[in-house]
Structures are given as structure tokens and as C-alpha cells.
A and B are shown apart, each in its own frame.
Chain A
Amino acid sequence: TTPMDADSDVALDILITNVVCVFRTRCHLNLRKIALEGANVIYKRDVGKVLMKLRKPRITATIWSSGKIICTGATSEEEAKFGARRLARSLQKLGFQVIFTDFKVVNVLAVCNMPFEIRLPEFTKNNRPHASYEPELHPAVCYRIKSLRATLQIFSTGSITVTGPNVKAVATAVEQIYPFVFESR
């Protein structure tokens, strides 16, 4: 009966706070040139990368000289792609022969709120292998779903932070965890 009840009122809104993606430009980039001519860049020479921040989709990109670029800060998958393309375009304008390949969303971070509180020690006991709770170290229970490669951090106030490889996995993870969390409220 509990699963049925749980399913009936699931109308939780999952807020995606961060999407991380990578892509390649297939050409060697001269970091020094980017650093000198870009207006919105930070050049970290000691680690060999350039941080470029865009304003329109709020995105921070880490650019390596090999042509690999990691893009963080977007709030949806489309936005991430859009921002990545803008970035590639601006690199093109700087004069590099950029080809936009291998775009992949690597990590999605989302937050979700349950309308009830959760008893963490009880929850950990019921979900032994997947859940790990160490109050001395972190106030939340860390629940890993291996099949989806997703990790959920469950707080006692009912808010849950989910990280997963893509948006769909994140949504599925929340759906999966709902009944368990509902039991221990």
C-alpha cells in the first residue's frame, strides 16, 4: 500500500542547478593568445588552463591547450550545449580552426524538496548497503544507486541533492528513492 500512496502525490519539482559538459575542438589552442585577447578570461599558467566566463548562459569554461574544454554552470542540457557552441564560436573569432566535436554532458546536479522530514538513522538501517551515514563527518546520508551511477544526499529536513550522468538518470533516481524516503519520515 505504501508504494501506491507514495506514487499518487508525487509532484515534486526537481530543480537542476548545474550541468557539466565537455567537448573537443580538435585543434591545438594557444592559451597565451586567448588570455591576451579575451576580455573575460583568467589565465592559470601554473596548471596550464584558461577559465573563460560567459554571461548570457552563465557558464564558466576551462580550456586546455590540447583543445579539450569543460563547461560548467549551465542550468539545463540545452543551455549547456548552447553555451558550449557560443564558446566555440568565440574561439573561432580569435582565429583558431575550431571544430565542435564530442559534446557530452558529464554531470548533472539537481535539488529537490520533500514535504516531510526524514529520520536518517532509521533510513540508513533500512537501506543498508547503499546508504552510508556518518554524522561526525557530514550531516546527510549518502545513497548511491549503482545502476544509474547516481548519488543522492538526503538531509533530515527533506531536501535531497542528486548528482547523475544526465537529467533522465537524475529524475529516475528521485523517483526510485521516493518510496524509501517516504517510509522513514
Chain B
Amino acid sequence: MTGRVCRGCGGTDIELDTARGDAVCTGCGSVLEDNIIVSEVQFVENSGGGSSAVGQFVSLDGAGKTPALGGGFHVNLGKESRAQTLQNGRRQIHHLGSQLQLNQHCLDTAFNFFKMAVSKHLTRGRRMAHVIAACLYLVCRTEGTPHMLLDLSDLLQVNVYVLGKTFLLLARELCINAPAIDPCLYIPRFAHLLEFGEKNHEVSMTALRLLQRMKRDWMHTGRRPSGLCGAALLVAARMHDFRRTVKEVISVVKVCESTLRKRLTEFEDTPTSQLTVDEFMKIDLEGECDPPSYTAGQRKLRMKQLEQVLSKKLEDVEGEISSYQDAIESELENSRPKAKGTLASLTRDGSVEDSASSLFGEEDPEDEELQAAASHLNKDFYRELLGAGVSSSSGEAGGPEGGSRPPALESLLGPLPTAASLGISDSIRECISSQSQEPTEPDPNAAALCFPVAGARGDGELDLSGIDDLEIDRYILNEAEARVKAELWMRENAEYLREQREKEARIAKEKELGIYKEHKPKKSCKRREPIQASTAGEAIEKMLEQKKISSKINYSVLQDLNSKGGGSLRGGGAQPQERAGARKLSRRKTPAGRSGADPVSSVGKRLRPMVSAQPAKRAAVGETLLLSSPSLGAEPVRPTAVVESGPVSYPPEEDPDEEDPDEEDGEPCVSALQMMGSSDYGCDGEEDEGY
């Protein structure tokens, strides 16, 4: 290492200590290199007499301790944290992967995915365990190993959908296309678990064939592959005379019993199920089936159509209905909705429901007849409504008078919506023409459908056209109702209210005792931007503004030093830089020896700002103030004593300290740094420097 020049003082006398792996300048004492990598192996003697190899362990991934110290502690911090994250991740991947019996290659790939995820900041805001699991599952998918997401969630005891969400996000961000799962992959695994002995292979083959058949029959789209596997294996086992119960299969395959049964029934519906075992092995049916959910939908549709046809037929049977007609009509008039308040309407609905319950148990044809009768009647009803303006009719809801009335009511109100579609145009006309005149609300279904499409006025005023004020009025309760409601709500939410009161009482008590600690939301630490300065002096200025003053330094001692060495400062720009660097360093190290008076004067400068900062604030944090008084005393003297010369100018003001001033300062560990220029605590500078 001859020919090297110290960055600090420019001296060429560099001492290389291979035992510690350091390169130190003997002139200014700055450490130029740390953790030097050498190719020879040396041995040193221990205190015990034995000898050990010289050197330090440096980790494979991650930088470990960077060779170049100082300059850019910010970055050093970031790197270390990143390295730690990666290390941690690697460890967890190995731990989880070994439980899944993944080989080393898979684990390495998973770690690569993890590194990519970390570099894209995808781990932020997510549990590390989730991200790790997602990486592992990604590997499983790309490699095609028979591991399910369910397995991972079992291991971690996490909801499988949460894992799935993370996995999908990861796959999307990393632009990795995970190939689709084939249920065939899972067969060997499950077959092995079901212990078929020597016939394992045969059973697997049969199950595979079954799966192929299922795929062609559209049973497998959208279904969990494990469910299909379970069904296939069950049938295959039975075909080969193995008695495997549904429960055993479930415990292996991890689906619910009902799911398995459903798959089996679906398979039963396919024509393939009709073949015998031998036939199945030989023939393959050509036709394909529709997916089961589709057939279910079709079935529903057909049922509905049947019902409609049936009801139409019955409409023609009018003979027996006429006798019911009159009874129903009168009942209708009696119990038309007269909504005075919502409570009243609720009771009305209640009575209807009561009558509805009496309907059960009636035979169908009668019901249908009634329905038909009711629909016929509805037309009459609407004609009446329009014509007569049927208003308050006699009497309230007459009690149910025998079996014919209540059912009629219910069936009347039942098909109302369908009848309403007939009567729409009429009711709309009515609605528009007589909007606010009616005391009673017209049929809600009819009125609901008139929406005048009025444009809103731009200035925010409410356009009232088409809004039925009266209906809205009904939404507002009167006094008594409001009280009742308040009472109900109180009772419902008693728990919550009680908790609130307890919490307040607790807070009040704590306040009295003075130990009430308000939980303020944590303020995230501000990241400081690196100081951009053209000269060292500027850099120092800016840094002084940024940095906070320390309370751990015994400034009185420094004073003396300062007075001694006041004039010796002012080297070139290098000096102030060093000082700046020293400050940076000293934040970490405790003030060691004080060499050189350089830093002292800067302390002096700093002293003024320190004093003006509220001492009270620092007391709150519990730090001991070493020298509030002495410094105050010293203060007036200071300015005169300090020799202000050179480029460094005194910052007249310091920024208000909210947080406690970190230690800092002028600790004369000038021996510290190579300052690549304190202008950027840039890691870039460092990297160039290092080998």
C-alpha cells in the first residue's frame, strides 16, 4: 500500500495493520480503510498462547460493514437495514421451505423473488410472513410442485384468502405468469397419503383418467383442484376394491364433505358414470357435458316456464272464482294501506304476514286458483282506483273472517308487482297529475316508478321537481315516536355506550393523577436531505443549521481548549470538512479523546444557538443538562474569545428544536473521516472509494 495518499491531511505515511484489517494515516489519524481483504493467511498469537487466523467474517449477501467508514452514515444505515431484511427473509424462507420439503434450488429461486420484492418495496406494509409465503408459493407454481396454498396457510395459520391476495399482488408486480394449476399434479401426492400399497400406481392412473374425463365434461373450471382430486381418487379407489371412506379422503385432500359429495353427484350425472369399470378403462365417450352450474340454471328456467304455463291455464277456469270475487273486493277496500306513520304500516304488514302463515298447508290448485283470481281482480282494482278515487273507506282492516279472506289478501298483495307492470302507465299519470293532493299514499309500487329526469341546477340548489314531499314527511318521526326510538337505540347500544363512559372516566382519573399520557400519533422521522454546498464553509453553515446541539458535552472544558487552540485552525477546506465529518461520526461514538482544537471553535459557534434553545424542552426528555448555567455564564464571554476567522461564518440563528437535540458536536474525533466532501453523505462517493 505504498504510494497512497491520505485524504484527510494529504500525508503519505499510511500504516497498514493486517490483524485488524485497517489502513490508518499516521499524520492525522484518519482511518482510510477497514476490513481489508487480503489473500494471504496470517496467524497471530492469542492471549492464551494459541494462534488464530487473522481476519474477519464478511457475509456473502449484504454488504456487512462497508469497507469505507464515515461519509454517509445515512446510507450505511439504509444498507444495513436492507441486508438485515434480506438475511431475515432468507432464514424464514429456509425454515418454511424445509417444512414443505422443497429442494435447495426452489429455495434459492424463492429468495430471488424475495429480493425482487424487497427492491420494489412490496414488503412495506405487509407482514413479512405473508410475503415469504407468497414467494414460496410462486416458486411452487412455476416449478409445478404439488403444494397448495392451503398447505402454506396451514403452516402459518393465516387465512388462505389473505395469502392469496398477497400472492396475486406479487405475481402481478413481478410480472410473473404463474401457470394454471392442473389437478393431475396433486394426484400422486394424495394417492401416496392414502396408502394404496403396491397398487398405488394403478389407482393413480385410473384417477388421472377420471380427471381427464371430468375436464372434458366441464366439471373442473372454476373448482378447487383439490376437490376434484378427492372425488377422482375416491372413485378410483372403489374401482380397485379399496374401501376408502369419505372421511379419510377429506382429511387428506382438505375439502369439506359436502363439496366432495357434490362433486360425486355431478360426476354421476355425466354419462361416463354409467360405464362399468372395464368399459371405462377402454372406451372414451365422445360427447361433452355442460358445466353443472349451467345445467342448474337451465333447470330453474324450465321450472319457471312450467309455472307460467300452468297459471295461464287456470286463468281460463273462471267459474268457481266469481263467488270469491266479491268477498275479496270488500276485503281489499277495508285493508288498503293507510300509512299514518311507519309504525302503523308495520303493523299492517304484520297482519298480512300472520295471514300468510295460514296459507301454508293449503293445496296447490286452490292456491293457484286464488292467484289467478287475484291477478284478475287487480285489473279491476286499478280501474277502480283511477275512476272513483277510492279514498278512506269504511273501517280499518277487518279482522280475518274465515279462511277465504286472509289468503286472498296475501295472494292479492303477492302478485301485485306483476300486476303493477300492467297498471304502470295509469298510475304514473295519476302520480303526476295529483301529486300532493292525496292524503293516503298511492300504491308504493306504482309510484316508485315515476322518475322525472330533471337536470340539477349548477349552483347547488336542490331541484325539487318530482320529489314527493309528503312521503318524505312521513320519514320524520313525531315526538312520541322519537322518544321510543331513542329508548330502543340506547338499549341496543348499551354495551358501546358503557365502554365509552368507562374510557372517559379512566381518562379523567388519569388526568387528575397527572399520569395521563396522550397517545399522539407517531410522527415519522423526517429524512434529512443531503446538504448541497459548494464550499466547505457553506456546508458547515448548513449543517450547523440542521444539527441539533448536544447536552452531553462539557463545554466548559472545551472552552479552555478553544482558547488554547483558537488560532490554529483554518486550514484549507479540508479542515472544516473534517470537522463536519467528525460531527457525523461523533454522533455514534462517544466523545473520545480530544485532539486538536479545531472542533472547539465550532462548538463555540454552536453554543449560542444551543443556549437560546429552550432548556425546558430537553428537560422533558429527561436528559441531564450539563451546563445550562455555566454556558449561560460563559456565553457573554465567548463571542469575544472566539477567533472568528476564515470562511466559516456564524449562523445567527438556529432552527427551533422540537425533538431533543441529539448529541453531536464537535467531538474532536477528528481522526475520523475521509470526507468525500460532506456535501453529499453520498454512498456513491464511498462506493468509488472502496475496492
**Contact A89/B464 with A36-B482, A40-B342 known, Cβ cut-off 8 Å:** yes
B682 within 8 A of A: no
A90 within 8 A of B: yes
Residues of B within 8 A of A117 (CB): 218, 290-291, 294
**Contact A85/B477 with A57-B448, A136-B181 known, Cβ cut-off 8 Å:** no
Contact with A along B6-36 (1 / 0, CB 8 A): 0000000000000000000000000000000
Contact check, A101 vs B460: say whether CB atoms are below 8 A apart: yes
One of A132, A136, A157 near B225 (C-beta < 8 A): A136
Distance in angstroms from B672 CB to nearest chain A CB is: 52
Among B44-52, B160-168, B238-246, the stretch that binds chain A is B160-168
Among A10-18, A121-129, A164-172, A174-182, the stretch that binds chain B is A121-129
Contact check, B181 vs A36: say whether CB atoms are below 8 A apart: no
B150 within 8 A of A: yes
Residues of B within 8 A of A55 (CB): 444, 448
Contact with A along B202-237 (1 / 0, CB 8 A): 000000000000000010011111100000000000
Contact check, B456 vs A103: say whether CB atoms are below 8 A apart: yes
Residues of B within 8 A of A40 (CB): 342, 475
One of A128, A156, A158 near B177 (C-beta < 8 A): A128
**Contact A135/B224 with A38-B475, A56-B444, A92-B462 known, Cβ cut-off 8 Å:** yes
B453 within 8 A of A: yes
Residues of A within 8 A of B177 (CB): 128
**Contact A93/B472 with A117-B294, A132-B172 known, Cβ cut-off 8 Å:** yes
The CA of A128 and the CA of B177, in the complex, are separated in Å by 7
One of B222, B460, B476 near A39 (C-beta < 8 A): B476
**Count of chain B residues with a beta carbon within 8 Å of a chain A beta carbon:** 59
Contact check, A136 vs B148: say whether CB atoms are below 8 A apart: yes
Contact check, A136 vs B472: say whether CB atoms are below 8 A apart: no
- A26, A88, A100, A120, most chain B CB atoms within 10 A: A100
Residues of B within 8 A of A37 (CB): 476-477, 482
Contact check, B467 vs A86: say whether CB atoms are below 8 A apart: yes
Contact with B along A87-100 (1 / 0, CB 8 A): 01110111000111
Residues of A within 8 A of B161 (CB): 137
B474 within 8 A of A: yes
Distance in angstroms from B616 CB to nearest chain A CB is: 38
Residues of A within 8 A of B164 (CB): 134, 136-137
One of A90, A136, A155 near B475 (C-beta < 8 A): A90
Nearest A residue to B290, CB-CB? A117
Contact check, B447 vs A56: say whether CB atoms are below 8 A apart: yes
**CB neighbors of A among B461-484 (8 A):** 461-464, 466-469, 471-477, 481-482
Nearest B residue to A42, CB-CB? B489
The CA of A133 and the CA of B470, in the complex, are separated in Å by 51
B155 within 8 A of A: no
Contact with B along A17-61 (1 / 0, CB 8 A): 000000000100000000111111001011000000001110000
Contact with A along B469-506 (1 / 0, CB 8 A): 10111111100011001100100010011000000000
The CA of A120 and the CA of B181, in the complex, are separated in Å by 12
The CA of A158 and the CA of B475, in the complex, are separated in Å by 43
Contact check, B150 vs A136: say whether CB atoms are below 8 A apart: yes
The CA of A124 and the CA of B473, in the complex, are separated in Å by 54
Contact check, B222 vs A155: say whether CB atoms are below 8 A apart: yes
Nearest B residue to A55, CB-CB? B444
Residues of A within 8 A of B180 (CB): 121, 124-125, 133, 135
Contact check, A90 vs B462: say whether CB atoms are below 8 A apart: no
Nearest B residue to A38, CB-CB? B475
The CA of A83 and the CA of B291, in the complex, are separated in Å by 40
Contact check, B462 vs A88: say whether CB atoms are below 8 A apart: yes
The CA of A99 and the CA of B463, in the complex, are separated in Å by 10
Interface size class of A (residues with CB under 8 A): 35 or more
A119 within 8 A of B: yes
Contact check, A56 vs B221: say whether CB atoms are below 8 A apart: no
Contact check, A78 vs B451: say whether CB atoms are below 8 A apart: yes
The CA of A45 and the CA of B175, in the complex, are separated in Å by 44
Residues of B within 8 A of A43 (CB): 489
**CB neighbors of A among B652-687 (8 A):** none
**CB neighbors of A among B277-324 (8 A):** 290-291, 293-294, 297
A139 within 8 A of B: yes
B332 within 8 A of A: no
The CA of A180 and the CA of B256, in the complex, are separated in Å by 35
Contact check, A135 vs B223: say whether CB atoms are below 8 A apart: yes
B540 within 8 A of A: no
B149 within 8 A of A: yes
Distance in angstroms from A75 CB to nearest chain B CB is: 11
The CA of A85 and the CA of B460, in the complex, are separated in Å by 11
Distance in angstroms from A84 CB to nearest chain B CB is: 9
Contact check, A39 vs B342: say whether CB atoms are below 8 A apart: yes
Contact check, B462 vs A85: say whether CB atoms are below 8 A apart: yes
A173 within 8 A of B: no
Residues of B within 8 A of A38 (CB): 475-477
Distance in angstroms from B141 CB to nearest chain A CB is: 10
The CA of A101 and the CA of B448, in the complex, are separated in Å by 25
Question: Known pairs A86-B472, A136-B148. 4 more at Cβ < 8 A?
Answer: A103-B456, A135-B181, A136-B160, A136-B225
A selection of 24 A-B contacts at a CB cut-off of 8 Å is: A36-B477, A37-B476, A45-B496, A57-B448, A85-B456, A90-B472, A98-B462, A99-B460, A100-B460, A100-B462, A103-B456, A120-B221, A124-B180, A129-B175, A133-B180, A135-B181, A135-B221, A135-B222, A135-B223, A136-B224, A140-B222, A155-B222, A156-B221, A157-B297
* 7 A-B pairs with the lowest CB-CB distances in the bound complex, closest first: A139-B222, A156-B221, A137-B164, A101-B460, A99-B460, A90-B472, A157-B294
Interface residues of B (CB under 8 A from A): 148-150, 160-161, 164, 167-168, 171-172, 175, 177, 180-181, 218, 221-226, 290-291, 293-294, 297, 341-342, 444, 447-448, 451-453, 456, 460-464, 466-469, 471-477, 481-482, 485-486, 489, 493, 496-497
Interface residues of A (CB under 8 A from B): 26, 35-40, 43, 45-46, 55-57, 78-79, 81-82, 85-86, 88-90, 92-94, 98-101, 103, 117-121, 124-125, 128-129, 132-137, 139-140, 155-158
